[in-house]
Amino acid sequence: MSACVPTRHNRTSRSSRPPRASGVKRPHSPPPPRGGRFRIAGADVSASITVFLLAVPMSLGLAVAMDAPLQAGLISAAIGGIVAGLLGGTPLQVSGPSAGLTVVTAELIQVYGWRTTCAITIGAGLLQILLGSLRAARSALAVSPAIVHGTLAGIGVAIALAQLHIVLGGSPQSSAVANALALPDQLGRLSPAAPLIGVLTITVLVLWPRIPGRIGSGARRVPAALVAVVTATTVAALAAPGIARVDLPSWRAHVLPEMPHGPVLALATAVFTVMLVASLESLLAAMAVDKLSAAPSHSPSARTSAAPPPPAASPASPGVPASPRAPTTPTSPTPPSPTPSASPSPPSPPTPPVRRADLDRELRAQGIANTLSGLVGGLAVSGGAVRSSANVRAGAQGRASTVLHGVWVLLATGLLVTVLEWIPLAALAALVMMVGIQMVNLAHIRNVHKHREFLVYGATITGVVLFGVLKGVTIGIAVAVAVALHRLARTRITVTDQGGEHLVVVRGQLTFLAVPRLSRTLGQLPQGGNAVVELDGFFMDHAAYEAIQDWSTAQAAHGGRIVFTGRSGGRIAEPASAAHSCCRPWTPWRNHHCHDEPGRTPEAGHGPGIPFTDARPVTDPIGTPHDMPHDALTPTPAPASTPGSAPSPDVAPGRDPAPSLHRSPARTAGPPAEATRPAGGNRLISGLSSFQRNTAPLVREELARLAAEGQRPSQLFITCADSRLVTSMITASGPGDLFTVRNIGNLVPLPNAESGDDSVGAAIEYAVDVLKVESITICGHSGCGAMQALLGAKPDPQTPPTSLWRWLRHGLPSLERMASRHHAWARISGRLPTDALEQLCLTNVVQQLDHLRAHESVARRLAEGTLRLHGMYFHVGEAQAYLLTEGASSGLELDEVFDRVGPGDPAGSGELERAGV
């Protein structure tokens, strides 16, 4: 049953939580304080050099792509490494100039100028700090993945189009559309030097990770971007000395931000756009680093060996270069078997738990870095998946690698200016163009297509390319809402006659919009006919449920057999719950399989009712399991009902924790119940374990109080031992409310009767004299086996009476009362008893009340007026309770009528209050 309990799942007691000083942090919570000084490991130093060699050309290339001062790219790389590295919530993430903001920043520089763009960066940073302080980082990821990946892909397309002009030896235009339209003219003015250097750079970027053998394994330790830029720079110095190169102006010419000038609404929109893109890129990269650092192949022990190939770009890591040699699933190396001559080695220390990213802290750190970067004239900063994945693969063990990389960049801006000015602009443009191309990730496209969200993805890309980032995101959200509404309103209903049985197939979601067509289709089916209804959807609202329930009930009343199946044709046979509940701890009955082992086939249903479940794992049209809201109907074959009784559910609500338990390949009933029910011992152990896990924590405090104060039940409840009568459920009572006596036939032997039973008499005396109960209820029920035995043949006088028949003698007065002309027949309000069995069940309740009054303790309390007696009848098939009229309960010779208790009857007045029902 724990598989579907929705509350307090997988939580441990406070005593079992690791102490804060242990360094173990709960997911996405503030990190524990770390003692000691800032430590630098040797692996961090080597990793920082690797990331530095990648970050320098990347930062210069992004600055060129944005048409920003080249120093701004280096400044943002240094601040991103040092500030975000020290304060961030993802120690292994490397921050720097934002590739996702390339198009946005380029447009801002053209419209407002560089100094105002720096002020916009400051505003975006302050907004990030505010959102991080409000713990809104997780909410930023609530946007549909199709919109997020579509936005990044659209930015990648715009980056690639702009940088292609630089690779071809020209200059980019102001927008992606203008760049695309200007390409033919650019190709007509082609000069060979820049395109050849660009092609060389791209070739090295593509082929470097694919070098085979041991040579390739060692070569991949050096970033492909560094090798490509160095190779292109060397070739350009020898073959094309006149090609355009990096020009780092003097630091004296560096400008700082100014107060922004322009329309307030436009500036606010610009600040929000920069904040949105930078935050999404940083948070998605942080989650990608989480996954990458948690993989076994990137554990600290594995990092000391040869670095594994880079993984394919994940949905949360735009721009990560895909590696053809990346394994599909991480595998851990198998340790060699010990040899007899090998000396025992000391056990290796346990691997420390992986620290999860603190997204709110990361967002605050990115905001601080952006604020400082804008103040000193740098580009906007964000976490970069390319730099971060290189950091992890290089063996970084902590944030020291990220910080040192920023220090190396800072030193390079002052010491390596001459070296950096040898780099061709075409090589940097080719490098950034490849980053943009990789942001259009094929894995993302396949994923959104599989989930039928490619329309949202394509609309977002188109909007970003044509109208800009913010408008593109708005278009994507609008299309996503339209698609959701279309899916919600689109329902196809078909009916097929299969030789005496109709197959009704419902495709799509069942809402009130589909109710007229659904009712019309179902109304055309013959009354009392058999039908199979196949539901293929994940949502049903109340209107559709009512329509199907009414139709199913009417069909069952006319003798029809209705079977509901899922999309695969497997029968849905599990009773389900109300919208807020799950497998309730007190409902482990026949059709309830929370305790069953996986792989069991459910038992057939036992009532024509239509309970339904509000959530269950379903399969989408392409076969991917999802856990989403679903209202699944659960009709079952109608049993033979007695005349006059309405066919109603006699099963109780529950939820299906594993729908695979309730599906079969064919639309037929499963094996017999005896073959599917778990063994008694297993069911007992499973039920006890479920109680300890789910129910005991909820009732422990109340039971502890009762244990300390003692029991003070308000009433004595005498009922039959029939397993279908769950007294606590029928009376809505809990621990300490009822003092219950159960026996065969809810009989009360007379005090001095022959072969009397002292057990029942002792319970009555204890409840009345010791516990001082206020009322006594005798409850009979429909279909009682004891009454059926009394109506049957009597045992052979030659045969010694069994224990059962010796006990049933106490019910003979009820049989005689029913046959007597001196007593009115007991009956149910609104109708006569359906047959002799129901008549005897009702009469037996009245007769046992007479036996109860014969007990001395009961008679005394009745005379004092401190005790009340009640007769009750429970119809199992109707799940309906009936109370004997007050005059008949008091022993007055009035009509013995059992009145129906309705759901709207006041629970706190008169007879019902005293009865506790």
Cβ pair 443, 457 in contact under 8 A: no
Residue 521: DSSP 8-state = H
Q: At what angle do helices 399-415 and 385-393 cross, to 10 degrees?
A: 110
In angstroms, what CA-CA distances link 790 with 72, 651, 782, 835?
Answer: 98, 28, 14, 14
Note if 784 is an active site residue: yes
* Residue type for position 698: L
Phi-psi region of 528 (alpha: psi -120 to 50; beta: other; left: phi over 0): left
Task: State the Cα angle at 369 between 368 and 374, rounded to 5°.
Answer: 100
DSSP element (H, E) containing 741: strand 738-743
- Report residue 145 CA to chain centroid gap: 16
Q: Are 469 and 151 in contact (CB under 8 A)?
A: yes
Measured between alpha carbons, how far is 490 from 483 in angstroms, rounded to an integer? 10
Which are the contacts of 871, defined by CB distance < 8 A and separation ≥ 6? 777, 778, 845, 846, 849, 883, 884, 888, 889, 898
Cα–Cα distance between 460 and 860 in angstroms, integer? Answer: 83
Structure tokens at 552: 């199913």
Which residues are paired to 777 by β-bridges? Answer: 717, 870
Active-site choice (650, 656, 722, 737): 722
Whether 229 contacts 434, CB under 8 Å: no
CA angle 606, 830, 917 (to 5 degrees): 65
Helices (H) and strands (E) in the chain, counts: 35, 15
Q: Which of 4, 118, 784, 841 is catalytic?
A: 784
Instruction: Exactly one of 4, 720, 779, 841 is catalytic; name it.
Output: 720
Q: How far is CA 672 from CA 18, 601, 605, 654, in A?
A: 49, 10, 11, 21
Tokens of 686: 């499973």
Phi, psi of 115 (to 5 degrees): -70, -40
User: How many Å apart are CA 7 and CA 2, to the nearest integer?
Assistant: 10
Catalytic, 779? Answer no
Distance CA 591, CA 572 (A): 11
Nearest CA-CA partner of 848 in 833, 822, 827, 870: 870
**Residue 841 a catalytic site member:** no
Q: Identify whether 720 is a catalytic site residue.
A: yes
- Which residues are within 8 A (CB) of 420 and not within 5 positions of it... i.e. 6 or more apart? 56, 60, 246, 248, 412
What type of residue is 246? Answer: V
- Taking only Cα atoms into account, the Rg of the chain, rounded to an integer number of angstroms, comes to 39
337-339-345 Cα angle (round to 5): 80
Distance between CA atoms of 607 and 649, rounded to whole angstroms?
5
Helix, strand, coil in percent for the chain, rounding step 5: 50, 10, 40
In the 3-class helix/strand/coil scheme, how is 290-331 assigned residue by residue?
Answer: HHHHHCHHHCHHHHCCCCCCCCCCCCCCCCCCCCCCCCCCCC
| Cα(159)–Cα(351) distance, integer angstroms | 42
Q: How far apart are the first and last CA of the chain?
A: 29
- Measure the CA–CA gap between 842 and 871, rounded to whole angstroms: 9
Q: Residue 64 is which amino acid?
A: V
781 is catalytic: yes
Query: What is the rounded distance in angstroms from the CA atom of residue 107 to the CA atom of residue 113?
Result: 9
What are the CA-CA distances from residue 200 to residues 9, 54, 203, 204, 642 (Å)? Answer: 55, 18, 5, 6, 88
Q: Which residues pair with 869 in a beta bridge?
A: 776
Would the CA dihedral through 172, 177, 183, 189 be positive or negative?
Answer: negative
Which amino acid would we find at residue 449? H
Q: Which residues are catalytic?
A: 720, 722, 724, 781, 784
